[in-house]
Amino acid sequence: MRNYVWLFAPALTILLIVGLVPIFPLVNYSVQTPFQEENKFVGLDHFRKIYSDSRWFNAIHRNLLFSMIILAIEIPLGLVLAYFFHRPGVLNSVASAAIILPALFPYISIGLMWRLMAATVGPLGKILHMIGIEYNIAVNATQAFATIIIMDVWHWTSLAFLVFSAAFAAMDPTPIMAARTEGATRWQIFRYIQLPNLMFPLLFVILLRLIDSLRIFDEAFVLTSGGPGFSTEFVSQYIRNVALEQWNFGYGAALSLVYLFMIIVLCVMVMNILTRGRGVL
Amino acid sequence: MNKLSIKNVLAFIAVVFIVIVFAFPIYFTIVTSLSSRAFISQGSIIPDMHLGNWVDLFTLPRWYNAIRNSIIIAAGCVAVGLLLSIPAAYVFSRIKFGGDRHFFFWLLTNRMAPPVVLSIPYLIMFKTFGIWDTHYGAVLAYMVFNIPIAIWLLASFIVTIPREIDYAAFLDGYSLWTYFRKILLPALRPGIAVTAFFIWMYSWNEMFLASVITSANAKTLTAELLTTVGRLGWGIEYGVAAAGAVVTLIPGLILLYWARRYLIKGFTFGRL
């Protein structure tokens, strides 16, 4: 069977073309000023410029803050929902389906939905108006940021829910039954039997959501386009702006490489957690 | 029983609340797609059953072409992705090779690379080779996340097929092709179906790469939505954009109904 390794070749070739080859032009552009009046070699100037680029650091800070907030909401919320709805049953299936639903939709459609919800005459504005809050994401940066967080929680609590539900469903019921007959409270059962079994899924979801939220683009772009001003601009949006709006490919490539490096470091962590004692498949 | 029914009522209320919270934005988008401009500008949550937006969606070329392109590209991704990934997944699950962990890690990073990072080189590469704004280009680009998902999903199905069947088949003198056709593919049918659906979903939902590597001929529905939203004063197009968004939701709804028990696999690892 060993001589069938060549079956790998077609997939590998394509993957190299679209996955690895693009890195070379990126590296190449990051030390030049391509597609500008004069294309010259600038060495590491682009990378030096990053250090003093306040818009970049603002985007990084904002993105990290955003990631922390959504993790702090989505993980406990997903856990609580999974705790209550993981068992089979009609009501539970209905609730599960509703929670999972947003995860299946395109990011841009989610953004569009929330753009409609958050429009000046939209339902969100009307409800907040009733309780005396003037809501307008086009002028109020805090509200815009908060709306992006609500949208993300709505969209991705589903992932935490899915993973935790699967973990609950996969648990051996005998220790739980034994504890129950011994008179353990629900909290004790959760704390000492179920929670230890959830550590792996927990880390897994945290890292997944962390990486994913660092890549946020579509929904936030549709909802606020980074505004008002640059107050809700995330890393991906900034890079897109530099490269595809200002046509500064050199600097955009340098930023991309730094960004990619950050994501890869996180991937290494995911990989280590994923494969610890579990194997690849 | 009495005590139970109070609990049941509370559970019922909780479920109703959750369904409203999660379904309302979807409902509101459908409402918007079925409302006339006057109704939309009032933010009405009840539609006036105005079908003009849907008529526009299926008669204005830029919209129906976008829907057509999305379907062509997603279908192309399914075909090409499966063709490339089934043999690769077979090797990946049957043969241990040195550095397969590193290889797997590389698969993972392909899946995780932010689209914005890839978009710059793709734009240049595709323009150089004349596949920019073509269906071929989009399918090729989407392989960067489809092949890793497909290999992962298919391999996890293939490992459940006992190796002994392989040995028996090859001892009986089956060629590799006969083995694939008569044994592996029939046994792998559920895995292929699930993988096909996930490739479809990820390709159908993709927006960022599409907005960079397509512009007119091969522009997808998601990229068209972005263009619409990016246009100044697009408020007048809320209705038709909402209708377009509703169309983008359809594959997800089918998937939820059809492949619920495979969701977790496709999502957790598909997202990697």
Domain that holds residue B261: 51-270
Max CA distance (Å), chain B = 73
Interatomic CA distance for residues A124 and A136, integer angstroms: 10
A242 Rama class: left (phi>0) / alpha (psi -120 to 50) / beta: alpha
Check whether residue B39 and residue B137 sit in a common domain: no
Same structural domain for residues B9 and B78?
Answer: no
* pLDDT of the residue at A280: 43
Q: Do B114 and A236 touch (CB under 8 A)?
A: yes
Give residue B2's pLDDT: 53
Tell me phi and psi for residue A102, to 5 degrees.
-60, -30
Q: Find the residue in B nearest to A251 (Cα).
A: B120
Q: pLDDT value at position B235?
A: 65
Which residue has better confidence, B31 or B270? B31
Q: What six digits make up the tokens of A168? A: 């609950």
Q: Of B5 and B186, which is predicted with more confidence?
A: B186
CA closest to A235 among chain B residues: B116
One domain, residues B59 and B145: yes
Which residue in chain B is spatially nearest to A116 when comparing CA positions?
Answer: B29
| B140 shares a domain with B24 | no
The reply to whether B98 touches chain A by the CB within 8 Å rule is: no
| pLDDT confidence tier of residue B1, bands split at 50, 70 and 90 | very low
So what's the pLDDT on residue A87? 79
Say yes or no: B91 and B121 in one domain: yes
Tell me B183's DSSP state.
I
**pLDDT score at B73:** 95
Stretch B65-80: mean pLDDT? 95
pLDDT, residue A2, reads 53
Give the CA angle between residues B186, B190, B196 to the nearest 5°.
105
Region B50-55: mean pLDDT is 88
In B, minimum Cα distance to A257 occurs at: B117
Cα dihedral sign, B52-B58-B61-B66: positive
- The CA–CA distances, whole Å, from B2 to A90, A261, B8, B9 equal 20, 60, 10, 11
Distance CA B28, CA B225 (A): 17
pTM over 0.80? The answer is: yes
pLDDT in tens, B129-152: 999 999 999 999 999 989 988 988
Radius of gyration of chain B (CA): 23
Residue B43 has pLDDT above 80, yes or no: no
B128 & B257 share domain: yes
Residue A109 and residue B222: Cβ atoms within 8 Å? Answer: yes
Provide mean pLDDT across the span B171-195. Answer: 88
B165, amino acid identity? I
Which of B211, B185, B203, B187 is CA-nearest to residue B255?
B203
Partner-chain contact B101 A280, CB within 8 Å: yes
Is the same domain home to B26 and B56? no
Same domain, B19 and B149: no
Residue pairs between chains A and B whose CB atoms are closer than 8 Å: 259
Are B147 and B81 found together in one domain? yes
Q: What is the pLDDT of residue A277?
A: 47
B255 to chain A, any CB pair closer than 8 A? The answer is yes
Which DSSP helix (H) or strand (E) runs through B210? helix B208-213
* Three-class SS state of A71: helix
Same domain, B40 and B131: no
Q: Using the 3D structure, point to which of B15, B31, B50 is the last residue of a domain.
A: B50
Alpha helices in A39-106 (DSSP H): 45-51, 54-85, 90-100
pLDDT given at position B109? 79
Residues of chain A with pLDDT under 50: 277, 279-281
Substitution target in A94, A108, A136 with the highest count of B β-carbons within 10 Å is A108
What is the Cα–Cα distance from A124 to A120, expressed in whole angstroms? 8
CATH number of A62-232: 1.10.3720.10
Q: What is the 3-state secondary structure (H, E, C) of A187-251?
A: HHHHHHHHHHHCHHHHHHHHHHHHHHHHCCCHHHHHHHCCCCCCCCCCHHHHHHHHHHHCCCHHH
Task: Measure the CA–CA gap between A218 and A69, rounded to whole angstroms.
Answer: 19
Quote the number of domains for chain B.
2
The whole-number pLDDT of residue A62 equals 93
- CB-based burial of residue B175 (10 Å sphere; 0-12 exposed, 13-18 middle, 19+ buried)? exposed
Check residue B30 and give its pLDDT: 92
Q: How remote is the C-alpha of A34 from its chain's centroid?
A: 31
The pLDDT value given to residue B265: 62
What was the pLDDT predicted at B203? 93
Please indicate whether, in this complex, the C-beta atoms of A256 and B18 are within 8 angstroms of each other.
no
Of residues A86 and B248, which shows the higher confidence score?
B248
**Rounded-to-integer distance, Cα A120 and Cα A235, Å:** 27
Q: Which residue has the higher pLDDT, B103 or B58?
A: B58
